[in-house]
Structures are given as C-alpha cells and as structure tokens.
Structure 1
Amino acid sequence: MIPHPALHSDLSVSCDLATGATVSGDLADAVRLALPMLDLRPGDSGEIDVRQDAALGEEAYRLTTGSRGVEIVAGGRAGAFYAAQSLHQLLPDASYRFSEQASWPVPGVRIEDAPRFPWRGLHLDVARHFFPKRELLRLIDLMAVHKLNRLHLHLVDDQGWRVESRAYPPLHEVSSHRPRTAVHAHDEPAEYDDVPHGGYYTLDDLAEIGAYARARCVTVVPEIDVPGHASAILAAYPSLGATGERYDVLDRWGISPAILSPLPPTVEFLTTIFDELIGALGETPYVHIGGDEVVLDHWGASAEITAYRGSLGLSTSVELQAWFLRRLADALAERGARAVVWDEAFVGGGLRQDTIVMPWRGMGVGRRAAAAGHDVVATPVFPLYFDYAESGSPDEPRAIGDTITVEDVAAFRPAPGDWTDDERARVVGAQAQLWSERVPDARTVDYKLWPRACALAEVAWSGGTADGFTGRLERHLGRLDAIGVEYRPLAGPHPWQRRHPHRPSRIPMSERMAHIEAMTHDPESTRPSL
C-alpha cells in the first residue's frame, strides 16, 4: 500500500479503461502488466499516453488524469509499472477482480512520486517448509501491487535443499526431503508429525520465476546459506564437510554443528552452484551467501583445516570464515553479482567492500556496517521478523515470539535520524523476513505477511509512514479482499485462523531481544540464537 502524495482532485474524467489505452513499447507493456484485470485496447476516449523522461529516475513517475485521459511520464519501465499501480489504486476495489465489460470513473489527479529506497524486500524461507512455484508467482504478484521489488528466497538450510542441481543431482534427490518434522518449541521435548516433507524447484522453474518477477519489476535474490546450516548439503555430500561425517536432513528446528569445509573442493562446488543459479535466473545482480549462526568448532578440531588456515596466513577460525566468504564473493563478482550476507559475516571482518550487509540482530550492528562503507538493507528482528506473533493474544497462531504489530512496522525508520548523513546514505532499503518453522502452508504465509507487509511497503517506499496510515490501511484491505489474500484482520484472527489451545507457548520478546542484543555486542559471536 503506497500513499498518493499531492493528490489534486480539481479535475474529473470518466475513463472507460476497458477500451481506453493508446500505448506502445516496453513502457506500455509494463502498464498493461500492472493492470491485469483491465483489458487495455486502443479507443476513442479515455486514452492512456505513456512516455519516457530520462531526467527521472528508473522507478520515478508522473501520473496525470483529466479530461484528456491519462498521462504517464516515467523514468524507465519500473516507473511506468508503478504509475499504473497508482492508477489502479484510484479505482474501486472491484477493479481488482476479474469481470466482463466493467468500467470505472477515474478522478482527476496529479502525482509525482519516486521511492526513497531502491531495495524494498520480502524474504521467504522455503527451506524449513517448501512452497510450490505457484505460491511464489502469486507472492510476486502481491509484491508488485505494493511496489515491493526484492524477493529473497532462502533456498537451503539444515532442514532442506530446494533447487535442482544438474551438476550435483543428489542435492535435489537426497537433500530436498525429510521423513518427518518437529512440532515443538525449541525448549520443549521433541515431538514429530511423522509426515514426510519435501520439494524443490527445477532450474526451469527458477528460470520461469526469475522471468515472471522481472516482468513485474521484482528481482529474485537467491540465498545459499554457508558455511553453517549445512546438514542438508552434507546428507548428499558428506565429503564437503569439516569432518567427513554424513548428516541427515534435519527434522527439528534450531541449527546443528554441521559445517562445510573451507577447502578448495567446497569453493569449487559452490561456484558451480552459483553458475547454475545465475544461469537459470538470468539477470541476477545479487546472491545471498548467508554467513550466520555458524558453529566453527569442527574447523578448529580438524588438523587438515588448521593446516590450510596456516597456509593462508590466518590465525583463527573466524578469520578463515571471513576468507571463505570473501572468496565466494569474489567468485560472484566475476559473474556480475554482488554478495549479500547476514550481519555475523560483517562482524567477522574481511568482507569485500561491495558486499551488502543485512543486520538482522539490530540496527546497531547495521550502523557499524554502514560506517565501514557497506551498503545495508535494514532487516532487524524487531520489527521486521514476520514469523513473530502479531499480538500477545492467546488466539494468535503459532509463532516464534511475541509481538510485532502492524503499528510497530509502520513506526520503523530504516535510516535512523541520529545516524550521520554518510551512514544514512548507506541504507539502501528495508526487508521483512518470514522464516517458516511455524509457517507450514500458503494460508499461513498470507496471515503472517499481510497487512504487516503493507506497512513495510509504505516505509520502504516513503522512508516512513505518513499521517493517516491506519485509515489508508483500512481502505486498502478491501483490495486485498478482492485479490483473495487471507490476511490477519486488524481486530484479530478469524475463528479458523486462531491458535490451537494445545500449541506451545512462545518465547517472550524481552527474552529474545536480550539474547539478540548480547549477540550484537559480541563481535566474535557465532553461537546459535534461540
């Protein structure tokens, strides 16, 4: 949901968009794609004129509607796409439904708009629970409606590997499924559902997802999280581990001590995986390589790895991890992509200067990364971890912790006012994370993301929410109803969305935030989080 700045309603026009478009070229195609429920054809009235102005930024636009029709002036294809999204927001909720021979009046407006941040993202963990391709395509459509433009896919973790590899087939044959899944909290005795879970995207699927996203001005950011979180990889290729021990795909939550070896065969393996990802996705300016929650014990206990570390002139396993991640970032740079990491990789030191840092443990470590000259995407647990409950009510469905509300998200400022100008300039955007330990299906994805992601969209586009946000959100929910989004109502969950009475309790926010704060202030911390 994006507010319309400087709306001037002194003009009016009844524009039959079912017959009213005279547009051509790439920008026009973007306009058509942004209005999927409307049949745009050349006509005699209510014309839509689209043209480019190179003086505007790629995502900037001017939208004018009046007695002569609709004029869109855009800096690039993305700007035309977003102008059409704003045009659609001027229409009734019914315009978001498919209908035959429908037409709606368009109010007279003048809008000039451009995003505050170039990175406006959603992260989806498809490793803990797999979501089929159709759900990713639908999520891309919803992101496009909200002018969100980065889809971060967490493709591998201890609990599963989610993409085909033609170079290393056991990855998708062995590592993409587990025989059962834990149904308990981190601190409770293990209980399992004894239901096999799995799935993966073929490279053809990935190519389709990438093309579908690009057409809607969304960039897919694949994540191969290394060197920790490696149980699934080592289930297929134990020789790539620090000990040579074979692991099973993890069937419980949390993390394991499984860690990849930093030796050359592992770098060669991951470089081949990068080639497959980039080759399938096509235009891939960013690849996330993780670097979080790494248990380095097995590196220090390995004589071979210790000797290799010494040959590189490195003194500690933390330095070796920094070297390993930089080597992967170098390989990505050779392929035209920038590396993205979680903040533990930054505090370990040694990153390439062009590596983007995601400070999940808080904006304090984000400020340190910005001061060191790294671009930063704001991703703090509070308030951008959407696997947290949306209220403290016992009716809320399962969640990892309490509580992150729509209002919390709306109050967030990705570039805090007390940072220096140079530090603020390093903040390239904001992104919400949806980890899926307690998100087993698409209906739960809808519930967890929306409407909190509506608040994120306004924050990431405008730099913050403006006065009247709650009223705009309430009106926007009618659009989500029309689209078919099973969002969490502002007053609380529907009866069928409520928590089962026997589900385990959540970790209190105060306890989790204290733990995260401690991790943030310990530069050497690579220990597991709660």
Structure 2
Amino acid sequence: MHLVPAPREFQPAPAGEAPFVLGPGTRVAADAASGTTARWLSSVLGAATGLPLPPAAAGEEGTVTLRVDERRAARGPEAYELTVDATGVLIEGGGPAGVFWGAGTLRQLLGPAAFRRAPLHDGPWTVPPVRVVDAPRFRWRGMLLDVARHFMPKDGVLRYIDLLAAHKLNVLHLHLTDDQGWRIQIRRYPRLTEVGSWRARSRIGLGDAAAWDERPHGGYYTQDDLREIVAHAAARHITVVPEIDVPGHSQAAVAAYPELGNTDVVDTSALAPWDRWGISRNVLNVSDATLEFYENVLTEVLEVFPSEYVHLGGDECPKDQWRASPAAQRRIGELGLADEDELQSWFVRHFDRWLADRGRRLVGWDEILAGGLAPGAVVASWQGYAGGVTAARAGHDVVMCPEQHTYLDWRQAEGPDEPVPIAHVRTLEDVYRFEPVPDSLSEAEAAHVIGVQANVWTETMDSARAVDYLAFPRLAAFAEVAWRPLPPPAERDFADFERRMDAAHYARLDALGVEYRPPSGPRPWQRRPGVPGRPREGRPPAR
C-alpha cells in the first residue's frame, strides 16, 4: 500500500473482501486518551474529503474507533495496530502516541488526496481491508532545524511540525542561537533580541568567492510564539528540544551584552551578530556573572519548553581567547584544571548539574566528551560514529547524527545544477542505507543509542523553498531508517522504497506543498547558478 515509513507487519485481507467507505455518516469514536488525535484526524480528513466526521460513541458500526489498549503497550507506547474491514476502522495504540501514528497510517491508506486542504472530488473515499501491526525502532526520531543562521517565521515551523508528523518523526530540535542570530525572546535580557536577532547583511554562498546580500536579516520568536509551537507539536506527539549554544557559537549574545565576552583580550563593544558563515572566535567568558546570566536565560527557556531534554551545544568552541585571557587562565588555576578543554568541560558540567536539579537532561554535541563528560549528559554524535561509540560504552545515552549520513545540507548529486553544493554527495539511497548502530557495540551498549536525527543547517538555505529542496525526499528515507528495524545495509531494499515513493509518496509531498528535489534533478528555479558552494571530492568515510 506504498506506506512510508514501511510498517513492521502489513497483512492485506483476502481477495474480494470489501473496503471501508468513508461517507457523510462516518463518525470518529475515541476514548479519553485519544481525544486529541480524534480532533486532529477529523480536522485533516474533514478538510481533504469535505466530510463532517463528527464524534461518535464507541461500538457504532461505520465508525473510525481510536483507543489505547494495554495489550499493545508491551511493544511500547508508540506501538499501534490498525484493522480495517467493511464495517469500520479500529486503531489501538500502546499509548496516545501509538494511536496518533496509527491515525497517520490511516491517512496514508486513503491516498495522496487525503493530504490536501480541500476536497478534489466528492468520493467515494475508501480504505482497503487490512491489518497493520507497527512500532518504532527508536524513541528519538528527530530533525534539527537551524533557525539561527536563517530565520524561519513561526508559520514555517508549524508547517515543518506537520511534515515531521506525516513521517512519524517525533523530535524537533530547534537550533535557536548562534553567532549569526538569537531567536528566542528572553524577557530579562531584551537586548538579546533587540540587538542579537538581526544582522546587517549575509553572505550568499560559501568561500572567498561568495557575494553579499546587503539586506538586513532577522527575526525572533516571542515566548508565546514558542508556546504555540510546543503545543502544536505536542498535539502531534512531537517533542520540541530547544538549543541554546554555549560557550562557542555565541557572538550574537556577546554583541547584545559585551560583558559576556573575553573583554580582557578583545574589545567586544564593537561586535555585531556575525554576517559570515563558519566558526566565530568570539566565545563566552567563564566568569560567575556569565554562568548566572545563562542560568537566568535557561530559567525562561524551561518555562516555555517542557521537554526533558535541553541542548546546550558545546561544539566548535575555539580556545584562542581563553588561552590569551588572564581571567580564563586564573579560573583554570583556581579549579585545578589541566587545560582549556577541561575548562569547557567544567562549564558544561555546571549546566548539567543545574538542569538535573530541575528535572531536565543536558544534550550536547560530541565535543563535550573532551575534558571529561558531564555525568548526566546525552551525546549527539555528529563527527562520525566515534563520539557516540565512546559515550555508549561509558554508559551515556546517544543520539546518532553523523554528518556523513544525516546532514541534509550536503549536496544530493554531482553536477553543476545542484544549488550551492556542500561537502560530499549524499543521495537518497545513501540516506536510506544509513545504519545508526555500529556493529562494534555490544547489545547493552547499543541500548544507549536512544535515537537518530537528521540535521538541517541553513547557512545556504535562505527560504522555505530551499529548506524543502534539501530536506526532501531524503527526510522520507531517514524517517524509515528511524522508524523501522531494518536488516544490515546491504540487504535494505532500496528498490522497494523507490517504488513506494514513485507510487504514492511523491504525490503526498505534492499534496502537502513540499518543493522537494525531483529524482531527475533540480527544476530550473531550484538551481542557484553562480552561487559558490564548498564541494568535496570522492565519498565520505562510512564510519
């Protein structure tokens, strides 16, 4: 039935068995735990079909019934079973999330037109008789959306939440701060958005040959905007994980509050949010005042985001200013640390404890391993597999997101037509064949790989159309890797995945308005002739 991601078990009914027909009399019944999903299903299918789909009592014939069933819970809260016959549809989940994912499968079974916002025809709307038994492989199935380099307005973020839900992805990692912009309102420190949320100009492309876009670029989310984003995601069983990057990637914050920088070695009063791409050398100082500043920032972040996980970056922090800073060197001596790597570890450990005291968990990029890993930290392994393997063997949870497999800003093909080509080629098939858990891990160590994540970095993505082009269709392949337990990479059936994409899923993306990269290559308006990238030759290492 061309489902994406493919379910674990799919059992069509014997030939000749009648389908279920949605019509004017069709109702939706739900238990108390499934009410939010029932309202969502009636909303999206009602818009697509023009049918009212009002609520009903359980047990009525001709209904779509949604309920949590403890028998399904043995396979996890996101497991579900969907059964369709001529009398109705029954979706039973191990928990409310399982019911929601089952409802998403029902939507796919109705055909691509079920993803439209208005009916294309009067019907009939039929669901084939079938039984689907399904559950995800990983509990963290995420996508990072970088809104710091290029701001995506709130409606665009809400749209991407819907796209994640359509692919059974359940984590949106919002990269809210970086050298080039600060995107979250902090009431105690208004200059973070007054100064830090916009830059005077931006580079177009990468490298020395890149030109300038002289338009100011900026934007930020109010705390109410973010509460709306969190609520929209929660209704779709998606967790929004905020990222506040420290101690590097912090020039926008230092521009807003110069005292956060290393003022004993650089004049931070002249700084502005960075207008280039790369890694700024202007990092935070390590004073008690800076720690207090970010504790106050995080206090407001925790009020907005209920997520158990809070990402604090910890990556790509140049140590030059700390090496030159008498204040940083005194701090190293006072704490009895060996070097600047241990100083960064001390900084990260401080916030690990601070978050743990408030019932939250710190997530950081794999650089937080240097100098000693904070006790409760989760490692997001982006520099290949090595950091994740080290962390898992030490008993730490890991989210695998190695750049050579999951960075969706990397180019999708060879050739001059790919817009702003970055790094190595990562085709749709490359992403589909990604195996998140190295076979070098024991079973107990592999259990610490709690999930996988695709990262969408937006230095070269200055519009929603550009994000769509680079994210899709590769995000659909990634979603199947994240959801479905698969055999070793050599045995993955990419031909079957392509068949399902061609038969239905590209049409679903069309219905959703996604401007994906066609299999034949970019459309004329998707190219960026003359805009330089930074391509690399050959293939990246597999591990």
* TM bin (shorter chain): over 0.9
Is 1:209 matched up with 2:222? no
Q: Please say which of residues 301-310 and 267-276 is displaced more in the overlay.
A: 301-310
One-letter amino acid matched to 2:416: P
Alignment of 1:122-271 (within 5 A): 122-186=143-207, 188-189=208-209, 191-243=211-263, 245-246=267-268, 247-271=271-295
SS in 1 for 2:43: coil
SS in 2 for 1:182: strand
Is 1:3 matched up with 2:19? no
CA shift, 1:507, in A, is 2.5
| 1:357 alignment counterpart | 379
CA shift, 1:364, in A, is 2.2
Superimposed CA distance per residue, residues 458-503 of structure 1 (whole angstroms, 9 cap, x where no aligned partner)? 0000134853111112221111111111111111111211231x22
Distance 1:151 1:211 in 2: 13
Is contact 1:411–1:464 with CA below 8 Å preserved after alignment?
Answer: no
CA shift, 1:304, in A, is 1.9
Match of 1:493 among 499, 503, 522: 522
| 1:106 alignment counterpart | 127
Superimposed CA distance per residue, residues 214-237 of structure 1 (whole angstroms, 9 cap, x where no aligned partner)? 111111111111101111111011
Is contact 2:31–2:68 with CA below 8 Å preserved after alignment?
Answer: no
Q: Please say which of residues 363-372 and 109-118 is displaced more in the overlay.
A: 363-372
Is contact 2:209–2:532 with CA below 8 Å preserved after alignment?
Answer: no
Distance 1:424 1:239 in 2: 43
Distance 1:382 1:412 in 2: 9
CA shift, 1:161, in A, is 0.6
SS in 1 for 2:422: coil
> CA 1:259–1:480 in 2, change beyond 3 Å: closer, same or farther?
same
Match of 1:462 among 465, 481, 484: 484
Q: Please say which of residues 29-38 and 415-424 is displaced more in the overlay.
A: 29-38
Distance 1:84 1:509 in 2: 44
Distance 1:291 1:17 in 2: 54
| 1:346 alignment counterpart | 369
CA shift, 1:393, in A, is 1.8
Superimposed CA distance per residue, residues 403-453 of structure 1 (whole angstroms, 9 cap, x where no aligned partner)? 111100100011123422122111111111111110000011111111100
Structure 2 gap segments, 5+ residues each: 47-52
One-letter amino acid matched to 2:21: C
> CA 1:50–1:366 in 2, change beyond 3 Å: closer, same or farther?
same
CA shift, 1:506, in A, is 2.7
Is contact 2:45–2:107 with CA below 8 Å preserved after alignment?
Answer: no
> CA 1:339–1:510 in 2, change beyond 3 Å: closer, same or farther?
farther
| 2:30 alignment counterpart | 23
Superimposed CA distance per residue, residues 116-140 of structure 1 (whole angstroms, 9 cap, x where no aligned partner)? 0000011111111100000000000
Is contact 2:10–2:131 with CA below 8 Å preserved after alignment?
Answer: yes
| 2:395 alignment counterpart | 373
Distance 2:427 2:519 in 1: 10
How many aligned residue pairs are there?
Answer: 511
Is 1:46 matched up with 2:77? no
SS in 1 for 2:204: coil
Superimposed CA distance per residue, residues 278-317 of structure 1 (whole angstroms, 9 cap, x where no aligned partner)? 1123x22111101111111211222222222222221211
Is contact 1:129–1:440 with CA below 8 Å preserved after alignment?
Answer: yes
> CA 1:48–1:345 in 2, change beyond 3 Å: closer, same or farther?
same
CA shift, 1:99, in A, is 3.3
SS in 2 for 1:21: strand
Distance 2:419 2:227 in 1: 34
CA shift, 1:336, in A, is 1.8
SS in 2 for 1:413: coil
Q: Please say which of residues 164-173 and 489-498 is displaced more in the overlay.
A: 489-498
CA shift, 1:365, in A, is 2.3
| 1:284 alignment counterpart | 307
Distance 2:223 2:99 in 1: 30
One-letter amino acid matched to 1:400: I
> CA 1:133–1:390 in 2, change beyond 3 Å: closer, same or farther?
same
Distance 1:275 1:34 in 2: 35
Is contact 1:34–1:216 with CA below 8 Å preserved after alignment?
Answer: no
SS in 1 for 2:98: helix
Match of 2:102 among 62, 66, 83: 83
> CA 1:217–1:250 in 2, change beyond 3 Å: closer, same or farther?
same
Distance 2:509 2:537 in 1: 29
One-letter amino acid matched to 1:451: P
One-letter amino acid matched to 1:3: A
CA shift, 1:257, in A, is 0.8
Is contact 1:340–1:356 with CA below 8 Å preserved after alignment?
Answer: yes
Distance 1:160 1:509 in 2: 31
Is 1:33 matched up with 2:40? yes
Is contact 2:431–2:474 with CA below 8 Å preserved after alignment?
Answer: yes
CA shift, 1:163, in A, is 0.9
Is contact 2:31–2:67 with CA below 8 Å preserved after alignment?
Answer: no
Is 1:503 matched up with 2:531? yes
CA shift, 1:184, in A, is 4.0
> CA 1:28–1:409 in 2, change beyond 3 Å: closer, same or farther?
same
TM superposition outliers: structure 1 runs of 4+ over 4 Å: 42-45, 100-103
Is 1:323 matched up with 2:352? no
Is contact 1:319–1:350 with CA below 8 Å preserved after alignment?
Answer: no
SS in 1 for 2:213: coil
Is contact 2:343–2:371 with CA below 8 Å preserved after alignment?
Answer: no
Report sequence identity in percent: 45
Distance 2:101 2:381 in 1: 28
SS in 2 for 1:37: helix
Match of 2:328 among 305, 317, 320: 305
| 2:473 alignment counterpart | 451
Distance 2:209 2:516 in 1: 32
Distance 1:503 1:300 in 2: 37
CA shift, 1:242, in A, is 2.0
Match of 2:500 among 458, 461, 472: 472
Distance 1:70 1:45 in 2: 9
Distance 1:366 1:454 in 2: 24
Superimposed CA distance per residue, residues 86-119 of structure 1 (whole angstroms, 9 cap, x where no aligned partner)? 1111112111113355441111111111100000
SS in 2 for 1:225: strand
Which TM-score applies when normalising by structure 1? 0.92
> CA 1:164–1:509 in 2, change beyond 3 Å: closer, same or farther?
farther
Is 1:13 matched up with 2:14? no
Is contact 1:414–1:463 with CA below 8 Å preserved after alignment?
Answer: no
Match of 1:406 among 428, 453, 459: 428
Is contact 1:413–1:463 with CA below 8 Å preserved after alignment?
Answer: no
SS in 2 for 1:210: helix
CA shift, 1:23, in A, is 2.5
Structure 1 gap segments, 5+ residues each: 518-530
One-letter amino acid matched to 1:49: T
CA shift, 1:17, in A, is 5.5
Distance 1:395 1:191 in 2: 19
One-letter amino acid matched to 2:460: R
